């Protein structure tokens, strides 16, 4: 069974609009962490934002925020005021609860920002 | 303060050759992780190492693949007798002992011809 599911293979958004990238996860461990990474066409993996399962507030980092709905097991990434440079692959990942500091990644969403 | 350094960035090998991928963690990071990314897929965990120790190799293929992180020098991911299916991007990441996530390197793109 998929531990991390990203249901949107691709998304097209107009510049300056907000965009939400979906991520749902599956775990029975009460302690876990959720991450979002950006992978531009150059290939590197760029950390965006982190949410711990016990964090009371939704995480925010500049234009990025994480809509964390624990009961629904969803951790959607919201990008406000999108820019052309936001065009990239976006990966949701979860810290493997039972394992030793490893992450499980979703399949990714390819975001394209149109001018 | 340099980030995670991986080299080479691109590596081309013929079938049957050996591939050696190097990773130098961030200064102060003692934990190293290797991930593989097949085309159009997410990253898949391969192995987690500390200095001179393999902590978790549950994602490593049983044959031809090995990893080490010696007391001195970079971590090495070694693939013997490469096959076309080994073509992928291989990412290294490092962290401190207290885990809040990784810093990834830029990856090595391996192409087997």
Pick from B31, B42, B109: CB nearest A108: B42
A-chain residues near B45 (CB < 8 A): 96, 102-104
Gap between the Cα atoms of A114 and A14, Å rounded = 5
**Residue B42 to residue A95, Cβ atoms within 8 A:** no
Q: What residue in B sits closest to A95 (Cα-Cα)?
A: B101
**Residue A100 to residue B89, Cβ atoms within 8 A:** no
Gap between the Cα atoms of B57 and B74, Å rounded = 18
Q: DSSP character for B15?
A: T
pLDDT at residue B109, as a whole number:
96
Task: Quickly count: other Cβ atoms within 10 Å of residue A73's Cβ.
Answer: 15
Q: Beta A33-39 vs A88-95: how paired, if at all?
A: antiparallel
**Residue A107 to residue B42, Cβ atoms within 8 A:** yes
CA–CA distance from A85 to each of A14, A58, B113 (Å)? 12, 24, 33
Q: Beta B108-112 vs B10-13: how paired, if at all?
A: parallel
pLDDT per residue as tens digits for the range B53-112: 999 999 999 999 999 999 999 999 999 999 999 999 999 999 887 666 788 999 999 999
Q: CB–CB of B6/B93 below 8 Å?
A: no
- Nearest-5° angle of CA B31, CA B93, CA A57? 90
**Residue B48 to residue A44, Cβ atoms within 8 A:** no
Q: For chain A, what is the total number of helices (H) and then of strands (E)? A: 0, 12
**Residue B45 to residue A100, Cβ atoms within 8 A:** no
Spans of chain A below 50 pLDDT:
none
pLDDT per residue as tens digits for the range B20-53: 999 999 988 889 999 999 988 889 999 999 999 9
Gap between the Cα atoms of B64 and B13, Å rounded = 15
Q: How many CB pairs under 8 A join A and B?
A: 59
Residues 6 or more apart whose Cβ sits within 8 Å of residue A19: A11, A13, A78, A79, A82, A86, A111
pLDDT at residue B38, as a whole number:
92
């Amino acid at each position: 069974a998929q531990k991390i599911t990203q249901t949107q293979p691709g998304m097209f958004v107009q510049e300056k609009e907000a965009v939400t990238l979906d991520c749902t996860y599956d775990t029975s461990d009460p302690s876990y962490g959720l991450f979002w990474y950006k992978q531009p066409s150059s290939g590197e993996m760029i950390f965006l934002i982190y949410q711990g399962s016990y964090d009371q507030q939704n995480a925010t980092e500049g234009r990025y925020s994480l809509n964390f709905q624990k009961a629904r097991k969803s951790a959607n990434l919201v990008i406000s005021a999108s820019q052309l440079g936001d065009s990239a692959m976006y990966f949701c990942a979860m810290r493997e609860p039972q394992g030793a500091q490893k992450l499980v990644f979703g399949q990714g969403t390819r975001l394209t920002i149109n001018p | 303060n340099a980030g995670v350094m991986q080299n080479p960035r691109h590596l081309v090998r013929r079938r049957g050759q050996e591939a050696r991928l190097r990773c130098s963690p961030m200064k102060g990071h003692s934990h190293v992780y290797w991930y593989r990314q097949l085309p159009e897929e997410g990253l898949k965990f391969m192995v987690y190492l500390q200095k001179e120790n393999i902590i978790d190799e549950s994602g490593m293929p049983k044959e031809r693949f090995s990893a080490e992180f010696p007391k001195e020098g970079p971590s090495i991911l070694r693939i013997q007798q490469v096959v076309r299916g080994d073509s992928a991007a291989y990412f290294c990441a490092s962290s401190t002992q207290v885990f809040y996530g990784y810093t990834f390197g830029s990856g090595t793109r391996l192409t087997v011809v």
